[in-house]
Structure 1
Amino acid sequence: MTHTPGILQPLGPGLARLLAPNPSPFTGEGTWVHLIGTERLAILDPGPADPAHLDAFVAAVGGRPVDAILVTHTHRDHSPAAAPLAERLAAPVWGCAPLVVPGNQEAGFDTSYAPDRILADGETVEAGGATIEAVHTPGHTSNHLCFALGHRLFSGDHVMGWSTTVVIPPDGNMGAYMASLQKLQARSETLFHPAHGEPVADPQRLMRGILGHRLQRERQLLRLVGEAPATLADLTQRAYPALDPRLRPAAEATALAHLITLEERGAVTCVQGLWKV
C-alpha cells in the first residue's frame, strides 16, 4: 500500500496519522506522525523539520489545542520537527532524554533536541484527553521510549511494521534491544503503531519472529568467526551476501552490535581488527 505524505489518515476514534515526506531505504515510505485526541491533541513523533511537512501538520491540527508533543527518540527522522511545531502550536515537548554520544556521535542523531519534560519509565501523562504511559525500551537507541494507550502501543523504531530495526553501536546495544523486546512481550497491548510501516495487529507473533531472527543472526556470526578470524567487513559480506549496497553500513553496524554482545559473554574477541573465538 502506498500513502501520500501530508494527508491526515484516521485510524479510529481519537487517533489519526500523517506521513512525513522522508522516504528512504531506512524509513520505508517515511515517518508516521500520530495525533491522539479529538478536541485536544497529543502529537507523537513529530518527524523531520521539513517545511512542507510542518505546514501540512499545522493544517491537520486545524487550530485545536495541543497538550504535548511526545518524542520516542532523537534520530533525525523523529524529533527535529518538535521545536518548530512547539513554537507554532504553543505546545510543550515531552519524551525521551536528550542524547549525546561523546567522541562518536552518530550522524543520525538530532543534537538540538531540548525537551521541556523528560519522561521516566512507567510515568504517565495526561494529553489529548488520554492517559499515556512512557515505556523505556533501550536498544535501537539508549533513550528510546514507546508510549502505551489502552490496548495500543506506539512503538517508534523499536518494533517497526516494515523492517527489522538497525542497532548501531556505541549507543545502540543488541543485548538491551533484545531485553526490551522481551519487556514488551510481557505487556498486554495487542495493537502496535510503529513510526515506520503499517499497524501491527499481532505484535506478539512479530516480536517472537524478531527475537528468533536476532538469535539466528548471532549464531551465524559465531559460526563464521569460528571458521576463521575475520574483519567486520568480511563477516558482514558473508552474513548478508545479497544485501542492497545502500544498506551495507547499517548491516555492518548491526553485525558489530551482535559481536560486541558475544564479546561481552566471552564467546569472541577482537584483536587488531580481526574477530576470532
Structure 2
Amino acid sequence: MNELDAGVAVPIETETVPVRRILGLNPGPMTGPGTNSYLIGEERLSLLDPGPADEVQLQNFLQAIGDAKLENILITHTHGDHSPGALALQEATGARLVGLKAPDVAGHDKTFAPDRLWNDLDTIDCGEYSVQLIATPGHVSNHICFLLLEEQLLFTGDHILQGTTSVILPPDGDMTAYLDALDRLLLIPLKALAPGHGSVMMEPHSEVEKLIAHRLKREQKVIVGLESLGAVSLDELVLTVYDDVAAQLIPWAKRTLLAHLLRLQQDERVQCNNKLWEMC
C-alpha cells in the first residue's frame, strides 16, 4: 500500500468475512504511511480505529459504509492516531463505541467514551461474523487487539506493527505486560495479523516469536551496556543500547529503554540511584 491509496477502502485477503483496509491521511515518522482503519463485514459493519479526527477521512468512511449499517466502532487504544475520529463517526452513524477508556496520563484521547465497560474475551456477535476482545497491555495499559473469529484474523493496533516495533511508554506502558501479552497470542489459533501501521502479516506466530526474541535481545544489550559502562544516565545508555536507531528516533527509544530498565529493576537485576542506572 502506498500514499496514493490513502482514504480508499481496499479489500484484504479473507475467506468468508469481507474486510477492507482504509489508510489514514496521517503519514509521518511515527505512523509510517498512516494509520490503518479496517471496515469489517458486509451488511452489519464494524470499523476499527478511525484514526485522527479528520472531516475528509470521515467522508471516506461514510462512502465506504454506503447503505450498510455501521454497528460498532472498535478502538484498540486511545492514542491520537487511533481513536479521536470515533466521536464524529459515532455522531454520523449511531454506532456504539467498543474499547477501554483513556488512562489518566498525558498523550491519550480523553474524548473517547465507550458505551459500556468492556472486558477481556468479550465477544461481539454481528450475525455474519464475531469479534472477540483480547486484552494486550504493554504499549499502553488500555490496549486491546480484536480477533475476527471466523477468519482467525487479529487486528493488532500498535501491539504488533509491520516492519518496526512499538514504543513502550512508561509509566502507563509496561514491558513485562507487553511480553506476557505476546506470549498469550502464541496460544491463540491465528492465520494473519492486521496491524495498525503497515501491511497484513500472513505468518502470525512467527512474527510474534520474532518480536519476543527482538525484545529479549534488546534487554540483553541493556545488561551488557550496564556491565560495560557502570553507573550511567538514561541519556548515555540509550546511545549504546540503541546504536542501530536513527538519531531522530532516540527520544522514543529512550522511552522503551526505560521500560526495559523498569522490568529489570522489578526483577532486582538493576537499580537506580540519583538518576544513574547500574547492575545490582
The two structures have a TM-score, normalised by structure 2, of 0.93
What residue number does 1:219 align with?
220
Instruction: Summarize the Cα distance change of 1:230–1:139 in structure 2 as closer, same or farther, 3 Å threshold.
Output: same
What residue number does 1:85 align with?
89
What residue number does 1:267 align with?
269
Q: Does 1:111 align with 2:117?
A: no
Q: Secondary structure at the residue paired with 2:73?
A: strand
Which blocks of at least 5 consecutive residues in structure 2 are unaligned?
none
Q: Does 1:7 align with 2:8?
A: yes
Q: Secondary structure at the residue paired with 2:37?
A: strand
Aligned pairs (5 A) from 1:196-275:
196-227=197-228, 228-275=230-277
What residue number does 2:27 align with?
23
Q: Secondary structure at the residue paired with 1:188?
A: coil
Which blocks of at least 5 consecutive residues in structure 1 are unaligned?
none
User: 8 Å contact 2:190–2:205 — kept in the other structure?
Assistant: no
Q: Any idea what the Cα deviations from partners look like across 1:118-146, whole Å, max 9, x if unmatched? A: 32111101237311110001101111111
Q: Secondary structure at the residue paired with 1:53?
A: helix
State the Cα distance separating 1:214 from its structure 2 match. 0.6
Instruction: Summarize the Cα distance change of 1:272–1:220 in structure 2 as closer, same or farther, 3 Å threshold.
Output: same
What residue number does 1:127 align with?
126
Q: Does 1:142 align with 2:136?
A: no
State the Cα distance separating 1:189 from its structure 2 match. 1.2
Whole-Å Cα distance in 1 between the matches of residues 256 and 247 of structure 2? Answer: 15
What residue number does 1:34 align with?
38
Whole-Å Cα distance in 1 between the matches of residues 117 and 19 of structure 2? Answer: 24
User: 8 Å contact 1:37–1:128 — kept in the other structure?
Assistant: no
Q: Any idea what the Cα deviations from partners look like across 1:228-277, whole Å, max 9, x if unmatched? A: 11100111111122422221111000000000000011111011110011
Question: Where has structure 1 moved over 6 Å in runs of 4 or more?
Answer: none
User: 8 Å contact 2:10–2:20 — kept in the other structure?
Assistant: yes
Bigger shift: 91-100 or 260-269? 91-100
What residue number does 1:179 align with?
180
Matched residue type, 2:190: E
Q: Does 1:158 align with 2:183?
A: no
State the Cα distance separating 1:58 from its structure 2 match. 1.3
Q: Any idea what the Cα deviations from partners look like across 1:117-174, whole Å, max 9, x if unmatched? A: 2321111012373111100011011111111112111111111112111101000100
Report the RMSD for the aligned CA atoms in angstroms.
Answer: 1.3
Matched residue type, 2:143: H
Whole-Å Cα distance in 2 between the matches of residues 112 and 17 of structure 1? Answer: 24
Matched residue type, 2:52: P
What is the identity percentage for the equivalent residue pairs of Structure 1 and Structure 2? 38
Whole-Å Cα distance in 1 between the matches of residues 155 and 205 of structure 2? Answer: 14
What residue number does 1:73 align with?
77
Q: Secondary structure at the residue paired with 1:118?
A: coil
Matched residue type, 1:264: Q
What residue number does 2:56 align with?
52
Whole-Å Cα distance in 2 between the matches of residues 97 and 90 of structure 1? Answer: 19
Matched residue type, 2:134: V
Q: Secondary structure at the residue paired with 1:276?
A: strand
Matched residue type, 1:144: H
Matched residue type, 1:17: R
State the Cα distance separating 1:97 from its structure 2 match. 3.1
Whole-Å Cα distance in 1 between the matches of residues 153 and 226 of structure 2? Answer: 41
User: 8 Å contact 2:70–2:93 — kept in the other structure?
Assistant: yes
